[in-house]
Structure 1
Amino acid sequence: MALAQIDYNDTIFPISYVLHNLKIHNPRGVLVFLHGWGSNKELMKLAFEKSFEDYVHLYIDLPGFGASTNEQILHTCDYANIIKSFLSYIRTHLSGLDSQEFIMVGHSFGGKVATLLAKEQLILLSSAGIVTPKSLKVRAKILLAKLCKKLGIRASFLRSQDAHNLNEAMYQTFKNVVNEDFSQSFKQCRAQAHIFWGKDDSATPLSSGEKIASLLPHSRFFVLEGDHYFFLKQATHIQALYQGTAQQGV
């Protein structure tokens, strides 16, 4: 594991990362893995380190997760700008990668960040970014939380599971990003997009994947067995499908 100090908006963000397959000869590119909300680089490494053997792998802890600490309130665009600066740092400090294509791979929240950064190729794994109707139970919790706030009552027990154990800055960040409609960002992305989805995903439903596929101008959509974390056991299958479509062009 390594740590880079990235200066963004007069704040230093420590970015923890791991590079894998650095010694391979003539890599086909650099896969940049961006995890979902509440996760970390180790999960992505566990899933993919034994696949995509012809690529260099770059596993990153996004600010506020894993070993990348954060005390600033951020939006998704801030995450994208921080990671963009980090990738420039990598190109500068590792001359062997300066001419390589960086292929963004994003799961859930990381999919939104990846979409903003992708240039030529994009791999989405059950990406967030489509706003779905909230259940009656969730709407009731939101109303109760707002009432408690007006009354000055701390009601942390009403927080979403994804917001548990967050510092105040990260909790405010969570509120900034959780209900973003990324439809326009998907429309504006010109990268060749390879979208993979777990058919039993309840966190980001299959209908969201179908919507994203319809919005991205150049995309292929693959439905695989499993839930929100379907990729944990299907990395080699994802590799085969990606390389097949990447060679043909989307």
Structure 2
Amino acid sequence: MAKTRVYSNGYFYDLSYELVNPKCEKSILILHGWGANKELMKQAFEKFLSDFKQIYLDLPGFGNSSINIPIDSYGYAKVVENFLTTIEQDIDYIMGHSFGGKIATIMCQNSIFRGLILLSSAGIVLPKSFKIRFKIALFKILKNLPYGDFWRQFFISKDVQGMNEVMYETFKKVVNENFENEFQKIKSPILIFWGNEDKATPLKSGAVIHSLAQKGKFFALDGDHFFFLKHADFICEKIHEDFLKND
């Protein structure tokens, strides 16, 4: 594990990262999702991408990386871009899970990568179910009653439990970002992988991204939001087949 200090968005960030196989010619940046860290992604993919230089990063506010102010997904993408400049690494491919998929998508707006890999990416805002809409409406009523803070614990998402104020405000910034236009603009080839039983980012979101992508392939696999932990070998096989054979 290594650490570097990056200046971005007007602040300094202490970022924790790991560089695997530094002598390999092809390089891939792998970004984790909300609430996760670089170790989870390294656990899944390191052994299957042995012919890649792999860069794993703890995004600001996660793992061992710091954050100072609430930022949206574009702010995160800027930090990651400045991070790559700081450690003097050029990237051929980029992979992102969930929230990391949105960051990877933004970075593809600014640079042309040889390939983008999305794993149950966030960024598609689907209509909320009646149950969710009812829950939100009920909480808005209860929070204005006496002991309003008491009721909050029964309504907040598991994603925000235990967060500090900066990360909670960050979550509110990123949770409802609609990236349909961003997905549509990507010129790099895209491999899209999804879990059939994913409830955090439903399978329908993957189908929407596939319909928007200019050069996309879509694979629905068995599993939930963290389906990639048991399908990393298949995902990496497709990366090799679709990307490396054409290089």
Counterpart AA for 1:19: L
Number of the residue aligned with 1:161: 158
Q: Structure 1 stretches (4+) deviating beyond 6 angstroms? A: none
Rounded Cα–Cα distance in structure 1 between residues aligned with 2:79 and 2:19: 18
Q: How do 1:1-250 residues align onto structure 2 when only pairs under 5 Å count?
A: 1-22=1-22, 24=23, 27-91=24-88, 97=89, 100-118=90-108, 119-120=112-113, 121-150=115-144, 153-154=148-149, 155-157=151-153, 158-247=155-244
C-alpha deviation, 1:234, in angstroms? 1.6
RMSD between aligned alpha carbons? Answer: 1.7
1:63-95 Cα offsets, whole Å, 9 max, x none, are 11111122311100000011010011121xxxx
1:187-241 Cα offsets, whole Å, 9 max, x none, are 1111111111112222211111111011111111112222211111221211111
Rounded Cα–Cα distance in structure 2 between residues aligned with 1:227 and 1:61: 22
**TM-score normalized with structure 2 length:** 0.90
Rounded Cα–Cα distance in structure 2 between residues aligned with 1:137 and 1:2: 45
| CA 1:247–1:46: 2 relative to 1, 3 Å | closer
**Structure 2 unpaired stretches of 5+:** none
Rounded Cα–Cα distance in structure 2 between residues aligned with 1:208 and 1:12: 34
Rounded Cα–Cα distance in structure 1 between residues aligned with 2:27 and 2:244: 16
Contact 1:52–1:236 (8 Å) recurs in 2: no
Find the residue that maps to 2:70 and give its secondary structure: coil
**Structure 1 unpaired stretches of 5+:** 92-96
Matched positions, count: 239
Find the residue that maps to 2:48 and give its secondary structure: coil
C-alpha deviation, 1:148, in angstroms? 4.6
Rounded Cα–Cα distance in structure 2 between residues aligned with 1:131 and 1:40: 24
**TM-score normalized with structure 1 length:** 0.89
